């Protein structure tokens, strides 16, 4: 490890993937091309049925790790398996990259240097640009990434991107990682728990955002399941019933549940899903514990 690596620490990088050979190669290339070299990369192949052996051989020839899962477990557990791999046990930091996203070459270096200047910060994200179907998208004001005490922002929307995050390994362990019961919105659920107790830093590139986030392709999980807000409602109910929220935080969470539940109930009634509409209706009655138990059955 060089002098800068000794000062800044070693990073464990986890890429979960299911198929996506071409996009995965692009993502891996962006990691291996980092200006900061003190990292260990783990690609977690989540039971792909597409031939990824070319990328696997490249990763392993570069001195990094490929983990093959024989049964598909989803992105939450795939990230957890990668982060738990024994080869990353001594890494001070964890960073995640989705297989369809790309890091700018200076991403790790800029983010680690930011943490060196902000020693008390245990987690940060970096600014990202959005590309939809190959076209750069200009973000609206409410889509800009927040920083600091952002719990209320995290309740309103998923305002932290996994590909942008760097966090202390010890923080990830304290939180217990991603909740593998969530097939989608698993990042939203984790960031709620993070932001409840920890400020989140925002790292800017010198000339451009440090992450390029790609979307609009057919195999995005956000296109795979209907009524995505039901998973966010479940996450909010889970957080509420765990306890430890201040009065102000509790009020924010309740409002977040109510606003989504009203829309979900209307949609369920329109589609003739009376049982789902009844469950969403519990929000207006404040039946939080009962609602969480039934929401889990609607989501799993």
pLDDT one-digit tens code per residue, 24-43: 999 999 999 999 999 999 99
* CATH superfamily, with its number, for domain 3-218: Spore Coat Polysaccharide Biosynthesis Protein SpsA; Chain A (3.90.550.10)
CB 165 within 8 A of CB 129: no
Q: What angle do CA 88, 76, 36 make, to 5 degrees?
A: 40
If you count DSSP H runs as helices and E runs as strands, how many of each does the chain have, helices first?
Answer: 12, 11
What does the pLDDT look like over 64-115, one tens digit per residue? 999 999 999 999 999 999 999 988 888 999 999 999 999 999 999 999 999 9
Instruction: In whole angstroms, give the CA distance from residue 129 to residue 136.
Output: 7
Residue 300 Cα distances to 214, 282, 296, angstroms: 27, 19, 6
Least confident of 57-71, 142-156, 242-256, 264-278: 142-156
Residues of the chain with CATH 3.90.550.10: 3-218
Confidence at residue 217, expressed as pLDDT on a 0 to 100 scale: 64
pTM of the model: 0.93
Residue 79 Cα distances to 12, 74, 119, 120, 260, angstroms: 11, 9, 26, 25, 28
Confidence at residue 144, expressed as pLDDT on a 0 to 100 scale: 77
Confidence at residue 5, expressed as pLDDT on a 0 to 100 scale: 59
Quick check: 139 pLDDT over 80?
no
Instruction: In whole angstroms, give the CA distance from residue 295 to residue 150.
Output: 25
Confidence at residue 232, expressed as pLDDT on a 0 to 100 scale: 96
Confidence at residue 203, expressed as pLDDT on a 0 to 100 scale: 95
Average pLDDT, the chain: 91
Quick check: 221 pLDDT over 80?
no
pLDDT-derived band at 133 (thresholds 50, 70, 90) equals: confident
What does the pLDDT look like over 39-52, one tens digit per residue? 999 999 999 999 99
Quick check: 117 pLDDT over 80?
yes
Instruction: In whole angstroms, give the CA distance from residue 41 to residue 172.
Output: 17
In a 3-state reduction of DSSP, which class is residue 200?
strand
């Amino acid at each position: 490890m060089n002098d800068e690596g000794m000062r800044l620490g070693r990073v464990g990088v986890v890429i979960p993937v299911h198929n996506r050979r071409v996009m995965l190669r692009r993502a891996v290339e962006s990691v291996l091309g980092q200006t900061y070299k003190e990292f260990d990369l783990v690609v977690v192949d989540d039971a792909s049925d597409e031939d990824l052996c070319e990328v696997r051989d490249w990763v392993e020839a570069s001195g990094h790790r490929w983990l093959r899962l024989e049964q598909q477990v989803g992105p939450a557990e795939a990230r957890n398996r990668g982060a738990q791999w024994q080869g990353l046990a001594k890494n001070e930091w964890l960073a995640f990259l989705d297989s369809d996203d790309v890091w700018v070459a200076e991403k790790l270096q800029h983010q680690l240097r930011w943490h060196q200047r902000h020693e008390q910060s245990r987690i940060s994200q970096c600014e990202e640009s959005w590309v939809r179907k190959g076209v750069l998208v200009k973000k609206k004001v409410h889509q800009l990434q927040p920083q600091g005490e952002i719990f209320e922002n995290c309740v309103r929307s998923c305002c932290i991107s996994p590909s942008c995050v760097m966090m202390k390994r010890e923080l990830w362990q304290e939180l217990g990682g991603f909740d593998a019961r969530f097939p989608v919105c698993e990042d939203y659920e984790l960031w709620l728990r993070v932001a409840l107790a920890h400020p989140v830093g925002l790292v800017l590139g010198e000339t451009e955002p440090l992450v390029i986030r790609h979307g609009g392709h057919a195999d995005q999980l956000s296109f795979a399941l209907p009524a995505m807000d039901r998973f966010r409602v479940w996450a909010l109910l889970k957080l509420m019933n765990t306890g430890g929220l201040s009065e102000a935080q509790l009020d924010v969470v309740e409002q977040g549940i109510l606003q989504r539940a009203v829309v979900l109930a209307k949609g369920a009634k329109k589609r003739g899903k009376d049982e789902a509409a009844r469950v969403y209706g519990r929000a207006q009655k404040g039946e939080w514990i009962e609602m969480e138990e039934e929401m889990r059955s609607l989501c799993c």
